[in-house]
Amino acid sequence: MTVKEVLSELEAMGSPAIKKVLMNHGAREPFFGTKVEDQKKIQKKIKKDYQLSLDLYKTGISDAMYLAGLIADEKRMTKNDLRNWAEGAYWYMLSEYTVPWVTAESPFGWELGLEWIESKDEKIASAGWSTLSNVVALKPDSELDLDVLSAFLDLIQEKIHSSQNRVKYTMNGFVISVGAYVNPLSKKAIETGLHIGKVQVDLGGTACKVPLAPEYIEKCITRGTLKKKKKMVRC
C-alpha cells in the first residue's frame, strides 16, 4: 500500500466521537480519530513495511504515526530512525507507547532508553522510561543489568515526586514493570512502590488514573502473569 492509500482508509475509518476523546488526551489536528482495532485491520494487510512506516510517521498525522508503529520492522529501524520518532512524538500515545514499543523490540532498546531518560525534554524522558519498562518485559532476566535496574528503583524512589508530569507517570510504570517481570527485583519493586505511595499526575481532566504500583503487581500475581515475559509489546 502507498501512503495515500493508507491515509484514505484511515480517513474513512475516522469517528468524530473518537476524535473528541483523543483531543482531550492530547492529540491535535490534523488527524482522523480512528480506533486502534480499525488500524489493526490495515496492519493485517500490510504486516511489516519499513519504508512505509517511516513515510507514515513523517505525515505528522497521529493515526498514521500510530499505525507506523504497528507495521514498523524493528530489525531494520536504525538508532537515527528511532531518535527521529522520539523527537516527533508530540503526545503520550506516541511518546509512551508507539515509540517505546518499537524501540524496545529493536536491537537498541536498552541503549536508547538509557539515553532518553537523561533528556530534559519531558516527552523524550518519558519515552525513555517507557522503553526501559518494555525492555524488562521482553528480555530474560539473565540478559538484564540487575544492578542498574536496582539503582533506578532507588533513583525513582528519591526523584519521582519532583519529576516532570509525564515522567512521573512512566517512572511509576517502570516500577510496576520491574515488579511484574524481573524476578530478582520483584520484592524491591513492591517495597519501592509502597514507599512512593500515590503519584500525582495531571491527566488533563480525563478519567484515567495513575495505578498504585504494589496493587498493580499484586493483580499480576492474582492473574498468574507475574514474571511471564512477553514475546512482543506492540498492541
Q: Does position 192 have pLDDT exceeding 80, yes or no?
A: yes
Grade residue 227 by pLDDT with cuts at 50, 70 and 90: confident
Axis crossing angle, helix 62-71 with helix 50-58, rounded to the nearest 10: 160
Handedness of CA 227, 228, 234, 235 (dihedral sign): negative
Maximum CA extent, the chain: 51
The predicted pLDDT at position 219 comes to 85
pLDDT in tens, 84-129: 999 999 999 999 999 999 999 999 999 999 999 999 999 999 999 9
Lowest-pLDDT range of 20-24, 40-44, 159-163: 20-24
Q: Does position 15 have pLDDT exceeding 90, yes or no?
A: yes
Region of residue 205 (left: phi > 0; alpha: psi -120 to 50; beta: else): left
Q: Does position 204 have pLDDT exceeding 90, yes or no?
A: no
CA-based nearest residue to 103, from 126, 75, 125, 123: 75
Spatial distance between the Cα atoms of 223 and 235, rounded to a whole number of angstroms: 19
Q: Does position 225 have pLDDT exceeding 80, yes or no?
A: no
This prediction's pTM: 0.96
Give the type of residue at 51: Q
- What's the average model confidence in pLDDT over 168-197? 96
